[in-house]
């Protein structure tokens, strides 16, 4: 039984590795959302599609040593407000 379990684990790792490799090659965008305070552009570190940061989004927000975005509280039942989101200009460019 032990040998069979080891063989199964080896096969599972090989299958995961085979499927994981192409995913990195197909990166369409990588927004780290770590721009400094006052930023208005959400930078795509893969170099494909930058975005626009809404005026109500706080950039450069520090928490536990990390930098990120912070959104003011809004009721979950409220409609989205454009100034509170980050958007990309050409969503069709995200289709592989």
Q: What is the pLDDT of residues 14-30, one digit of tens each?
A: 444 444 444 456 788 89
Q: Is residue 68 part of a domain?
A: yes
Q: Tell me the torsion sign for CA atoms 60, 61, 64, 67.
A: negative
CA 26, CA 16: separation in Å to the nearest integer? Answer: 16
Query: Where in the sequence is the domain holding 75, given as residue range(s)?
Result: 2-89
Secondary structure (3-state) at 68: strand
Q: Is residue 38 part of a domain?
A: yes
CA 89, CA 68: separation in Å to the nearest integer? Answer: 21
Q: Is residue 94 part of a domain?
A: no
Which pTM was predicted?
A: 0.61
Q: What is the pLDDT of residue 21?
A: 44
Q: Is residue 96 part of a domain?
A: no
Q: Is residue 42 part of a domain?
A: yes
Query: Structural domain tally of the chain?
Result: 1
Q: Is residue 95 part of a domain?
A: no
Q: What is the pLDDT of residue 19?
A: 43
pLDDT tens-digit readout, 27-46:
888 999 999 999 999 999 98
CA distances from 19 to 7, 24, 26, 58, 94 (A): 19, 10, 12, 37, 21
Show the tokens assigned to 12. Answer: 């599972």
């Amino acid at each position: 039984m032990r040998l069979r379990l080891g063989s199964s684990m080896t096969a599972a790792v090989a299958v995961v590795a085979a499927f994981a490799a192409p995913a990195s090659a197909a990166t369409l965008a990588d927004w780290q959302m770590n721009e400094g305070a006052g930023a208005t552009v959400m930078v795509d570190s893969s170099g494909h599609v930058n975005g626009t940061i809404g005026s109500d989004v706080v950039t450069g927000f520090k928490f536990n040593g990390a930098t990120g975005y912070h959104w003011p509280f809004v009721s979950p039942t409220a409609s989205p407000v454009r100034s509170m989101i980050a958007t990309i200009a050409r969503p069709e460019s995200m289709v592989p």
